[in-house]
Amino acid sequence: MAPKRKGKGEAATKPPSSLQTSPASTPNWPIFQPLLPESDLALQEALTSQIVTITNFWTATLCKNYVSFLSSLPLTTTPGKPKKGDAVRVNDRFQVDDPAFAERLWSGTALKNLVLGLTETDGLELDDAQRRELWGGEVIGLNPNIRIYRYSKGQFFDQHYDDSNNVTVSGVPARTTWTLLLYLTSPATGCIGGETVFYPDPETGKKKSKEPPPEPFVVGLEAAQRPPDLLHDFQKDNISVSWAPGHPKEWTDKVALKFQFSDGGPVAYTGGAIPVAALSSDEKYLVTVNVSHHVSVLDLARGTRVYDQTLTSTYKDSSVALRVLTSPSNYDVLVSMNYIEVQRLRLSPEGAQVGNITVYPGGLLFDKGSPSVSPNERRFITAVPDAGQYNIYDLDDPNVRIVIDNQRDDFYDVSFTPDNQYVVARSWSYSGLPGSTKMFEVNSGTLVRDFNNTYSETLSISPNGELLATSFDSEALQLWSLRNATTEPVTLKLPARVTVGGFQRLAWSPDSKYLAAGLYNNLVIWEIGPSSRIIQWLQLDSNLGNAARDVSGLLWLGSSRIAYRVFGGLEIYDFKTNLKYRWGFSPYTHWVDGAYAVSMTIWDKSKGWIGGSDADYQVRFWEVPE
């Protein structure tokens, strides 16, 4: 970070003076191996003209080697009472003047070429004048004064400014302009804490205003370990999220893997690939349908397949949606062949087929992750684009078909109210007219409320039945009261830096206190109340294209954890611990195509498993962290 430039009459708390110790002998530093190729590194300006980061500047292996080596050095604990004017700190420190090590760190790594702009792309794309302005002049190397800091539980370094110092580098008089911080440990290595918190100054002219000061900015290795194309990650109390110990995990981790199923196909988009899977609400049966319409019913407790059959359909591509509905006497498996037809397969409690397969016109809506079924699991709704209508069917009464035809063109999303009495449907218009969002009475199909013309892509009703969330012009969400039709909707705006690409998923927490929205390249979470506010935000680089697409498969695990799919893998964020968990193809490698774009995340509460259809079209389950 750039040092503080103090104006006239402006005081600053200084870092503590150097300890009065005899000069330390020069350590036999380990070599800088392994390092990532220079082409894989780039500068990122985290805070304009103040904080510049390099993700994965040192590899995890090199950091581990240096942690082991540095533990052998004679670190000294700082005095508990600082000198007048010094910042309070309690930590362990080792200090040595070593010009040779400073030169190795400067020239023996990618640091020199990145700072001087000698790489093909350094990430900042500055001209010579801008580069001199950023670094405070012509950069010639690093200060030979090397300091090692170690923080044990309860130790800290209070707020302070880093002053500039006069130094000599390779015989050339110079002055320091930036502080280089290299983080060696993180929660991924079992170390919690140790981040550096920066407190930016207000903009010029605002120091005496009533506006709140800028929020502190946190930097640490845990932030640098995230993928370089993850622009914004979760935070708690201004502390960046950390990977939970042992994470991210890979699909090949057989110790963590609890269940895996592949329906006869390789990990490519072939006849055996599984794009959809669903769990019965009593968590007894897992049902999968592969791209050849082959249905498998699996008893998870025993790890066996109890039923399988290949469905016949005029629709030759893969199934797009699957639901498993439970009643005291049977299971109903609904397989949607796009918008052409829904096939219902009824199973006995033992998993045997009961009667013939029933075919319904239309399809289950899958675009936004809507379940398309009533909370009591006895009714479901299909969209029939050719007829311009929705149909509501009753699984216990074949004579019931309620038609909803007060919509336009295509059909985007639909949701039943928690009391099973109403359904809210969303249509989309390709004719140039605005789409519509409307509420209907389930038993009659009667229109009871019109939410006016909107460009909403998705909708979701809160579990307590009080609020309806709809996307608004692809740039915000609107919350509508379902108790009072005269109440004006509340608009939930997105962060200013979000590149809008459309809402993909909405998910309420079970207590209706939080609302999560999955967008193209973003996951935004609001706390809902009298003054609703954004409490968490995950942002991917919008330049990733299909590699990013959207954050999907949102599922709340209670009210303090949320699961989602991103970068072709499954992740969980814990709000209380500020830890993140991941299971994927590899820690950060993107799976460009795959089932994660439409599949639902599955939580088997009784077994403590989390999983579903992964991006390679296989089904996997992992143990949910405690």
Q: How far is CA 224 from its chain centroid?
A: 15
DSSP H or E segment with residue 346: strand 341-347
Q: Are 526 and 535 in contact (CB under 8 A)?
A: yes
Tell me the per-residue pLDDT of 284-337, one tens digit each, with 9 for 90 and over.
Answer: 999 998 888 899 999 988 889 999 999 988 776 667 788 899 999 999 999 988
- Could you tell me which residue, 218 or 349, shows the higher pLDDT? 349
Which residue matches tokens 């090949």? 252
* d(C-alpha 168, C-alpha 112), whole Å: 17
Task: Please give the pLDDT value at position 367.
Answer: 47
Task: Please give the pLDDT value at position 92.
Answer: 84
- Could you tell me which residue, 360 or 315, shows the higher pLDDT? 360
Categorize the per-residue pLDDT at 264 as very low, low, confident or very high, splitting at 50, 70 and 90. low
* d(C-alpha 521, C-alpha 495), whole Å: 13
Tell me the per-residue pLDDT of 381-393, one tens digit each, with 9 for 90 and over.
Answer: 988 877 778 899 9
Task: Please give the pLDDT value at position 418.
Answer: 95
Categorize the per-residue pLDDT at 112 as very low, low, confident or very high, splitting at 50, 70 and 90. very high
Q: Which of 267-281, 287-301, 445-459, 546-560 has the lowest mean pLDDT?
A: 267-281
Residues with Cβ within 8 Å of 72's Cβ and at least 6 positions away in sequence, in order, are: none
Task: Please give the pLDDT value at position 199.
Answer: 67
Would you say residue 604 has pLDDT above 70? Answer: yes
Task: Please give the pLDDT value at position 408.
Answer: 55
* Tokens at 130, concatenated: 């801008």
- Using alpha carbons, list the distances in angstroms from residue 61 to 58, 65, 102, 191, 419: 8, 6, 21, 15, 55
* d(C-alpha 451, C-alpha 174), whole Å: 67
Task: Please give the pLDDT value at position 99.
Answer: 94
Nearest CA to 565 out of 583, 587, 541 is that of 583
Would you say residue 208 has pLDDT above 70? Answer: no
Tell me the per-residue pLDDT of 153-199, one tens digit each, with 9 for 90 and over.
Answer: 777 777 767 778 889 888 899 999 998 988 887 655 556 666 777 76
Categorize the per-residue pLDDT at 591 as very low, low, confident or very high, splitting at 50, 70 and 90. low
Give me the percent of the chain exceeding a pLDDT of 70: 76
Q: Are 125 and 134 in contact (CB under 8 A)?
A: no
Would you say residue 102 has pLDDT above 90? Answer: yes
* Tokens at 542, concatenated: 């919008």
* d(C-alpha 602, C-alpha 371), whole Å: 13
**Mean pLDDT confidence for 188-215:** 60
Would you say residue 258 has pLDDT above 80? Answer: yes
Q: Are 461 and 467 in contact (CB under 8 A)?
A: yes
Task: Please give the pLDDT value at position 7.
Answer: 38
Would you say residue 20 has pLDDT above 80? Answer: no
Which is it for the CA torsion 510, 249, 578, 51, positive or negative? negative
Task: Please give the pLDDT value at position 27.
Answer: 93
Alpha-helical runs (H) found in 72-137: 99-107, 111-116, 128-135
DSSP string, 211-239: SPPPPPEEE-HHHHTS-TTEEE--EETTE
DSSP string, 582-624: EEESSSS----SSGGGTPPPEEETTTTEEEEE-TTS-EEEEEP
Which is it for the CA torsion 363, 364, 368, 374, positive or negative? positive
Task: Please give the pLDDT value at position 437.
Answer: 85
Task: Please give the pLDDT value at position 197.
Answer: 72
Would you say residue 6 has pLDDT above 50? Answer: no
Tell me the per-residue pLDDT of 216-255, one tens digit each, with 9 for 90 and over.
Answer: 555 554 443 445 456 778 888 877 788 888 888 888 888 8
Q: Report strand pairing: 552-556 vs 561-566.
A: antiparallel
Would you say residue 142 has pLDDT above 60? Answer: yes
Collapsing DSSP to helix, strand or coil, 62 comes out as helix
Q: Are 514 and 529 in contact (CB under 8 A)?
A: no
Task: Please give the pLDDT value at position 473.
Answer: 67
Q: What are the residues facing 129 on neighbouring strands?
A: none
Furthest C-alpha separation in the chain: 93
SS (H, E, C) 233-263: CCEECCEECEECCCCCEECCCCCCEEEEECC
* Tokens at 336, concatenated: 């949607």
- Could you tell me which residue, 589 or 338, shows the higher pLDDT? 338
* d(C-alpha 181, C-alpha 139), whole Å: 17
Would you say residue 259 has pLDDT above 90? Answer: yes
Tell me the per-residue pLDDT of 45-100, one tens digit each, with 9 for 90 and over.
Answer: 877 788 888 877 888 788 888 988 998 999 888 766 666 666 677 778 899 999 99
Tell me the per-residue pLDDT of 518-556, one tens digit each, with 9 for 90 and over.
Answer: 887 789 999 999 989 999 988 876 665 554 567 888 999
Tell me the per-residue pLDDT of 401-438, one tens digit each, with 9 for 90 and over.
Answer: 998 876 555 566 888 999 999 999 887 655 555 567 88
Residues with Cβ within 8 Å of 183's Cβ and at least 6 positions away in sequence, in order, are: 63, 194, 219, 220, 221, 224
Q: Are 381 and 423 in contact (CB under 8 A)?
A: yes
Would you say residue 269 has pLDDT above 70? Answer: no
Nearest CA to 414 out of 380, 452, 464, 385 is that of 380
Q: Are 597 and 269 in contact (CB under 8 A)?
A: no
* d(C-alpha 333, C-alpha 330), whole Å: 10
Other Cβ atoms closer than 10 A to 260 = 13
- Could you tell me which residue, 504 or 396, shows the higher pLDDT? 396
* d(C-alpha 550, C-alpha 539), whole Å: 10
Collapsing DSSP to helix, strand or coil, 150 comes out as strand
Q: What are the residues facing 123 on neighbouring strands?
A: none
Categorize the per-residue pLDDT at 570 as very low, low, confident or very high, splitting at 50, 70 and 90. very high
Dihedral pair phi/psi, residue 347, rounded to 5°: -120, 150
Residues with Cβ within 8 Å of 20's Cβ and at least 6 positions away in sequence, in order, are: none
Categorize the per-residue pLDDT at 456 as very low, low, confident or very high, splitting at 50, 70 and 90. low
- Using alpha carbons, list the distances in angstroms from residue 94 to 19, 101, 154, 307, 540: 10, 14, 19, 66, 39
| Mean of all residue pLDDT scores within the chain | 81
